[in-house]
């Protein structure tokens, strides 16, 4: 009898502990810059909040949580950031460092060998249920293959950029006008998921991965009208700015001088529509009495395509504007209206959730992230575990300026991968990266170069030379295949001169060869470029 009571008591205790496991919601924006919301990431610098864009629900989240002034995404473009965040590794270690990563494709990198956020929480034996809703990551494919119990991947292909532009990309079905960038259907699906978890009491991890603010920009007509009027007032425009997009049938009716104003208003409206969507989810979280035990993390996959001043650069650039992003966290033991200035990165999320979940299962040894629990609970007084290296952002891209950036403490090293030229900035004092210290601090620069090179060598990061070589191999292979197709079509036309199908195939093959040759020449030009901007 004593044994039975003991077993029952232990079982009951385990249920209590399971019930106390915290929930996690990750809200991930697309192409959202550091200064693009109305929430300044530094409370004493209100100018870092956007003066036009209105995001009241993010303001509310920041009011009950912590904003991070030095938060970094893994990459200045979406795909590698989304792979990195899933597995708690830098893009260099995970083996996905660019959009259309040719070396990754050639080496057939297997992401299933890594533990995702969902798989880590499932292993914790706390009963976690997980869902991934919205934009995915092309190399990762179907997210149910990475441990997620539920997704909204109901299309012919896994969710990507195109699903933010079309309801069904394969058929080019239009997204309804009342659901721009799917922001409201994402909210409704998220609310439905929360209602199920409130009912079954399971701890959960929900990712809400927005398609906004990636182009093509879309917004509600009513929200857009609000900002068209606001922009008109600010610019002193007497006439009412027409609501005509460049995609409308009557696009030629829009005065050229007003086109840029319409684009600004549309972007601001899209921002507010996304914020409204986020507010719907936060309201439901509170209504279901789930708010108190739920960590809500808001951030972006890379810097914005619009201005990120005072930061330099933006999307696809390795300056601060491309990789420093907004980040807000609210949840248990996180002080309201607080600010953390400790540098953090999104590859820290996996280690952080592992710690906060109370999992006793050891983490893999090849992670780059550390738990952010100390700073979430103590702010700037919290001491993070020592990192293997600082923050490495390796970006050997063949289609843009290839730069590797490396932050260690207050300093950030940048190395141009075509020329080897380096720059050094104190980004704690000079977040705009205006004063290059490379010549005045040669020892500091040399020490950081040694650390960076040691890390890249250890993880087997792609070199710029390998990337260019592999891209040329790929393009030359495609050109050769199309040239053979041209020869085959010509032979078929010699036999059947009136065969229209072969004539059409011949035309398309020639057009594609011309396009591929142009692309190849662009890569050659990029390889020879020493530009930093």
Q: Which of 69, 37, 62 is nearest to 52 (CA)?
A: 37
Alpha carbon distance 189, 185 (integer Å): 6
pLDDT digits (tens, 9 = 90+) for 480-504: 999 999 999 998 888 888 888 888 9
The reported pTM is 0.93
* Cα 503 from Cα 137, distance rounded (Å): 38
Sign of CA dihedral 12, 14, 15, 16: positive
CA contacts within 13 A on the Cβ side of 323: 32
> 263: helix, coil or strand?
helix
Phi, psi of 233 (to 5 degrees): -65, -45
For residue 19, the model assigns a pLDDT of 52
CB 401 within 8 Å of CB 370: no
Cα(481)–Cα(526) distance, integer angstroms: 24
Straight-line distance from the first to the last Cα atom of the chain, in angstroms, rounded to the nearest whole number? 76
Residue 440 has a CB neighbour count (10 Å cut-off) of 10
DSSP string, 452-493: HHHHHHHHTPPPHHHHHHHHHHHHHHHHHHHHHHHHHHHHHH
253-299 per-position pLDDT tens digit: 999 999 999 999 999 999 999 999 999 999 999 999 999 999 999 99
What confidence score (pLDDT) does residue 497 get? 85
pLDDT reported for residue 363: 95
Can you count the helices (H) and strands (E) in the chain?
15, 16
The segments of the chain whose pLDDT lies below 70 read: 1-19
pLDDT of the residue at 13: 42
Residue 502: what pLDDT? Answer: 83
pLDDT value at residue 350: 98
| Residues paired with 209 in a beta bridge | 28, 134
Q: In 368-431, where do the E strands start and end?
A: 391-393, 403-408, 411-416, 422-426
The pLDDT value given to residue 11: 47
Per-residue model confidence (pLDDT) at position 18 = 44
- Which of these, 454, 450, 415, 423, lies nearest to 439 by C-alpha position? 423
């Amino acid at each position: 009898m004593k044994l039975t009571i003991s077993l029952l008591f232990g079982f009951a205790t385990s249920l209590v502990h399971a019930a106390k496991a915290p929930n996690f919601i990750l809200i991930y924006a697309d192409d959202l810059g550091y200064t693009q919301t109305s929430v300044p990431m530094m409370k004493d610098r209100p100018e870092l909040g956007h003066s036009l864009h209105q995001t009241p629900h993010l303001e509310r989240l920041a009011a009950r949580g912590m904003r991070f002034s030095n938060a970094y995404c893994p990459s200045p473009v979406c795909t590698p950031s989304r792979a990195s965040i899933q597995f708690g590794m830098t893009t260099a270690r995970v083996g996905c460092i660019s959009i259309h990563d040719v070396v990754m494709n050639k080496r057939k990198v297997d992401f299933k060998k890594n533990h995702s956020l969902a798989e880590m929480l499932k292993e914790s034996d706390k009963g976690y249920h997980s869902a991934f809703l919205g934009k995915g990551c092309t190399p990762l494919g179907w997210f149910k293959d990475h441990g997620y119990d539920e997704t909204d991947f109901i299309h012919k292909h896994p969710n990507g950029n195109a699903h933010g532009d079309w309801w069904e990309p394969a058929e080019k079905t239009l997204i309804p006008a009342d659901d721009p960038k799917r922001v409201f259907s994402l909210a409704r699906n998220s609310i439905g998921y929360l209602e199920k978890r409130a009912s079954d009491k399971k701890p959960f991890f929900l990712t809400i991965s927005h398609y906004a603010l990636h182009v093509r920009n879309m917004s509600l007509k009513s929200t857009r009208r609000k900002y068209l009027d606001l922009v008109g007032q600010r610019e002193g425009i007497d006439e009412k700015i027409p609501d005509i997009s460049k995609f409308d049938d009557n696009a030629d009716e829009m005065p050229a001088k007003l086109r840029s104003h319409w684009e600004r208003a549309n972007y601001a409206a899209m921002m507010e529509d996304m914020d409204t969507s986020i507010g719907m989810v936060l309201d439901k979280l509170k209504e279901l009495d789930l708010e108190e035990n739920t960590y809500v993390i808001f951030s972006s996959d890379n810097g914005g395509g619009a201005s990120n001043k005072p930061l330099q650069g933006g999307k696809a650039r390795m300056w601060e504007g491309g990789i420093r992003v907004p980040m807000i966290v609210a949840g248990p033991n996180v002080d309201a209206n607080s600010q953390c200035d400790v540098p953090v990165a999104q590859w820290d999320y996996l280690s952080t959730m592992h710690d906060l979940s109370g999992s006793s299962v050891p983490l893999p040894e090849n992670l780059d992230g550390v738990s952010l629990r100390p700073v979430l609970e103590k702010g700037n007084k919290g001491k993070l575990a020592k990192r293997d290296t600082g923050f490495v952002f390796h970006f050997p891209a063949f289609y843009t300026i290839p730069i590797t950036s490396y932050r260690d403490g207050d300093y950030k090293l940048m190395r141009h991968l075509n020329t080897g030229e380096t720059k050094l900035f104190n980004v704690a004092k000079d977040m705009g990266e205006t004063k290059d210290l490379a010549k005045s601090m040669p020892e500091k620069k040399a020490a950081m170069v040694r650390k960076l090179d040691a890390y890249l060598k250890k993880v087997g990061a792609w070199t710029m030379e390998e990337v260019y070589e592999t891209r040329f191999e790929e393009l030359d292979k495609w050109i050769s295949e199309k040239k053979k197709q041209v020869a085959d079509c010509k032979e078929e036309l010699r036999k059947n001169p009136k065969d229209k199908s072969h004539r059409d195939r011949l035309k398309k093959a020639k057009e594609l060869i011309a396009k591929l040759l142009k692309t190849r020449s662009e890569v050659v030009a990029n390889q020879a470029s020493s530009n930093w901007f």
